[in-house]
Amino acid sequence: MSPIFCDDIQEGLQGVLRDISFDKLFVLLDEQTEKLCFPLVQVSDAHIIRIKFGDSNKSIDTLCQVWQQLSDMGASRHSLLVNIGGGMLTDLGGFAAATFKRGIRYVNVPTTLLAMVDASVGGKTGVNFNGLKNEIGAFHSAQQVVINTHFLHTLDVPNRLSGYAEMIKHGLLSNTAHWAELMAFDWQRPDFAHLQDMVMRSVLIKQLIVEKDPHESGARKALNLGHTIGHALESFSFGQPRPLPHGYAVAFGMACELYLSFLKLGFPKDKLRQTVQYVKDNYGVFAFNCKHYDSLYALMTHDKKNTANIINFTLLAQIGDCRINQQASRDEIFECLDFYRESFGV
């Protein structure tokens, strides 16, 4: 399945729905997408399921609410669920589809940059549990993903930047020219036509990786760059007054893991510094101190990529030269946290 890029979201989605047979159609929305995005889509003859907005609602409780509404409105194994929203909603909606009546089909209509380039493509679904990101989930691919980049105009800058972090990751996994193009993008004067072109390339980079390894047994682990430390920072931030958006956590996680790449694999120091500076200039700072290192390390031990309690990283020897299943000692991990705090001035 290759994502469909369309200029007219209503026409694009209707074309997809005409090609899928189903007995009942359900649309999952949150408060934001119902107000800002659903009027642009106008799906007729659909049963609407509403959930609350925000990552704190990516939970078992919300999942149960979706199951309950599907059941109350007579969904069967032949029904279709359309998820219209950001990564939280497409993850949760995909998992609801994966588990309701042992699996129904679904279509994703991502409305945030993060969902377009990451969450809605690749078949990973899930909810947060016990303070950990995506702890409960399943691989269950969407029947189709319909992408309309005009939704980017409905987003504030932090939401755009959150998705852009995953694009930076794709650039690092791809080639130096694409990474340099991403490093040159000016968020003070954004060129949306250029951004839309880069979004399409970013989605295709992820799609090619996923097609090689749908269930993350090997090559797909490349997509975890920045996520081992990033997920730990994100989970740690849940207890803070201002929790980190996912993409911000990944951006800070990449800064740390590129230093590990430099330390262990000789990743070029100039490209490390340039990437870290771009993150600092655009994403600001997430503050923690050395007293938090043990808590962050403990969170890393819960990462789903680990085997036999060994923390696994995806690291880079060069841009485009990815090494999966890399280990680092506790001291090396603490050293990269020191590097982060020194680089970001915290």
Active site residues: 102, 124, 166, 206, 216, 220, 224, 227, 231, 246
Tell me the backbone φ, ψ of residue 109, rounded to 5 degrees.
-120, 90
Q: Quick one: which of 110, 115, 106, 162 has its CA closest to 138?
A: 106
* 189 burial level (CB within 10 Å; 0-12, 13-18, 19+): exposed
DSSP type of residue 103: -
Q: CA–CA distance from 142 to each of 100, 108, 277 (Å)?
A: 14, 7, 36
| Strand 124-129 with 132-139, pairing | antiparallel
For residue 96, give the amino acid letter.
A
State the angle between helix axes of 246-265 and 157-174 in degrees (0 to 180), rounded to the nearest 10: 30
Q: Distance from first CA to last CA of the chain, Å, rounded?
A: 44
Angle at CA of residue 170, ends 12 and 220, nearest 5°: 90
Residues 109 and 121: beta-carbon distance below 8 Å: no
Query: Cβ neighbours of residue 287 under 8 Å, at least 6 residues apart?
Result: 346
308, two tokens: 């036999």
